[in-house]
A and B are shown apart, each in its own frame.
Chain A
Amino acid sequence: MAQNLIVVLPELVLALLSVVVLLIDIFSESRSRLRQTAGLAMMAVVLTLAVCIALWGKNLSGYNGIVRLDSMGLLLSMVCLVSAGATILLASDYLRQIGSEKTEFFLLILLSTVGMMVMVKAGELLTLFIGLETLSIPLYVLAGFRRQEPRSQEAALKYFLMGAFASGFLLYGIALTYAATGTTIFSELRHSTSTEAIAGSPILLAGLGLMLVGFAFKLALVPFHMWAPDVYEGSPTPVTAFMSTGVKVAAFGALVRLLGGGLASLQEGWGTALWMLAALSILFGNILALKQNNLKRLLAYSSIAHAGYILVGVVAYHSLPTAFGPWAVSYYLAAYVVMNLGAFGVLILVQSRPGGAEKLEDLRGLSQSHPLVALCMTFFLLSLAGMPPFWGFVAKFYVFGAAIQAGRYYLAIIGVLGSLISIFYYLRIIVEMYMSEPTEPEPKLSSSLAVRVTVGAAALLTLLGGLFSSGLADAARDAIRMLITP
């Protein structure tokens, strides 16, 4: 009993705290409600982070294996919390700028984070699904948070319809898997799919395929990516930052657990399918990003390509004990979250000036008016492009290393080719910032401390993560080594 509660302790703490935040918010008569609620939400995130750190090193499973508390779950939970915390910091200023005093924003972020944490710890299919819905439903609302803004409404509807459609596929896949094997718990699935008769069953294969389609929709992998650029463009920028980081962490965490833990014996089937999805996402994501002029759309396509790189790590995830893949995936996710949040933070800063927009030209001459902001953005872009010595380089190195270790040479080559293409459009932004004259004399950016601190911290981490990569990598490897023994 007590063990069950310990296993879900971080989720429990965050869910309860978010209710507390809601109640305080309702009865508050403070004049700076927005700031107050943001502070409270931030405190909830930090407390939950502390709980995760206190539980570090434990390897438990609760409720008959439905939820698992292990290093990968905790690590990815913490990455989700970092993403939520950064979003809260970025949003408090943004909300004031767009003239919205709606404090529900922070509550929805917290609830969505609970769903993410459930998802990365799920040891059972229906739990995974409930986590996914808990994470998605607040996000549908957040996407349409600028209710009067037609683009935001449109983004919300598209995200909702696509999300619900994807859930349908995932759920039908779960139902067929259950029909074929009689269980939804990963450890039992692993056991029952090891027999020839069940592993070859067409119902199970159909179930696996449908689940993969559901995941591919959620992760915006090519060819299931059409919604992503639209939704990313239309949503409020902090929400886009949250969507492109937290959701990916949660879905990849769950995917690694499901495929590596539950359906490892079907590796031949899902390996090939994911191979193709990864190659297509890397190539098309990067090629389509080349002609984008809107920075949010550009980052959307770049995030599609990054999902492809991460998927390379999942494909490489074959024989468990020595495999390089699972921690390469976790490591990449951590690096990706930091650099992507940083890039969106700079975007929010640029949007904060009067009449500021999100076009490439809006960054013109940024290095002259705001040299530090331009430097931070350069760090993030070079890191996203996978240039040494930044964190993104190390992360890519490990993911492609995992692919080579697993004998997937072509995938590693496609990954490197994709990174080469990506350098072009990331450099285009840097050139715009450094080599062209500013269009208006002195664009005044927001002086919000929270946004600046977030961007600065992300830039520092992007640099330090690259410089001290070996220590971090060892820590991540030790953490994941004892992972997933369902």
Chain B
Amino acid sequence: MTVPFGWYLFLSALLFVIGAVGVLRRRNAILLFMCIELMLNAVNLTFVAAARHLGQLDGQLFVFLVILVAAAEVAIGLSIIIAIYKSHRSVDVDDLKLLKW
């Protein structure tokens, strides 16, 4: 018995919403960042499920591109967070208030 396509979409939508709400609610930069990764993985799930549903390979291919971009973002993002930590000794975004948020 196969799982219907709609369930995959529902699950990925749920993951995406958890990620998005996390970005808006959390204050720790690392956690914010992990929530963004969760959103991207919800996207990957959608791509894979859609590819299977449509009987194409394209969707699975797109996942590689997304993973690649996410990896590049991690490299830049973590280095920015480290630079912040070195000078502020904290990665809480509420501590960053030189500029009006």
Chain A residues proximal to chain B, CB less than 8 Å: 126, 129-130, 133, 137, 140-141, 144, 147-148, 150-151, 153-158, 160-161, 164-165, 167-169, 171-172, 174-176, 178-179, 182-184, 203, 226, 229-230, 233-234
Contact = CB atoms under 8 A, between A and B. Distances in A.
B99 to A, nearest CB: 4
Contacts of B87: 148, 150, 153
In terms of DSSP, what is the predominant structure of the interface of chain A?
helix
B60 to A, nearest CB: 11
B99 A168 contact: no
Given A157-B29, A160-B80, 19 more contacts: A130-B69, A137-B76, A140-B76, A154-B98, A156-B80, A160-B76, A161-B23, A161-B32, A161-B77, A165-B23, A167-B73, A168-B43, A169-B20, A169-B39, A171-B43, A178-B58, A179-B50, A182-B54, A230-B99
Interface string B28-65: 01001100100110110011011001101011001001
Interface string B73-101: 10011001101100110000100101111
A230 B39 contact: no
Contacts of A130: 65, 69
Contacts of A157: 29, 80-81, 84, 93, 96
Contact of B40 (A144, A154, A156, A171): A171
Given A133-B69, A161-B29, A164-B73, A172 B36 contact: no
A22 to B, nearest CB: 17
B101 A230 contact: yes
Contacts of B66: 171
A153 B84 contact: yes
Given A160-B76, A164-B36, A184-B58, A144 B83 contact: yes
A203 B96 CA distance: 38
Contacts of A160: 73, 76-77, 80
Q: Count chain A CB atoms within 10 A of each CB in B20, B72, B73 and give the residue with the most.
A: B73
23 contacts: A126-B62, A133-B72, A133-B73, A137-B73, A137-B76, A141-B76, A144-B80, A148-B87, A151-B99, A154-B84, A154-B96, A158-B96, A160-B76, A160-B77, A161-B29, A161-B93, A167-B73, A178-B50, A179-B50, A203-B9, A229-B99, A230-B101, A234-B98
A172 B16 contact: yes
A161 B36 contact: yes
B7 to A, nearest CB: 13
Contacts of A140: 76-77, 80
Nearest to B96: A154
B98 to A, nearest CB: 5
Nearest to B19: A168
A127 to B, nearest CB: 10
A179 B99 contact: no
Given A130-B69, A172-B39, A234 B80 contact: no
Interface residues of B, number: 43
Contacts of A153: 80, 83-84, 87
A155 B99 contact: yes
Nearest to A156: B80
A58 to B, nearest CB: 27
A175 B15 CA distance: 14
B62 A178 contact: yes
A382 to B, nearest CB: 29
A175 B50 contact: yes
Given A129-B69, A168-B19, A151 B43 contact: no
B32 A234 contact: no
A147 B83 contact: yes
A137 B71 CA distance: 11
A176 B45 CA distance: 11
Contacts of B101: 158, 226, 230
A179 B46 contact: yes
Contacts of A129: 65, 69
A172 B42 contact: yes
A229 B46 CA distance: 34
A46 to B, nearest CB: 28
Given A150-B98, A160-B77, A168 B47 contact: no
Given A130-B69, A182-B56, A230-B101, A175 B80 contact: no
Interface string B1-15: 000000001001000
A154 to B, nearest CB: 5
A157 B95 CA distance: 12
Contacts of B42: 172
A48 to B, nearest CB: 23
- CB-CB nearest 5 A-B residue pairs: A179-B50, A168-B39, A175-B46, A230-B99, A154-B96
Contacts of A182: 50, 54, 56
Nearest to B53: A179
Contacts of A234: 98-99
Contacts of B81: 157
A165 B47 contact: no
Nearest to A139: B76
Contacts of B39: 165, 168-169, 172
Nearest to A144: B80
Given A179-B9, A179-B53, A203-B9, A158 B99 contact: yes
Nearest to A210: B16
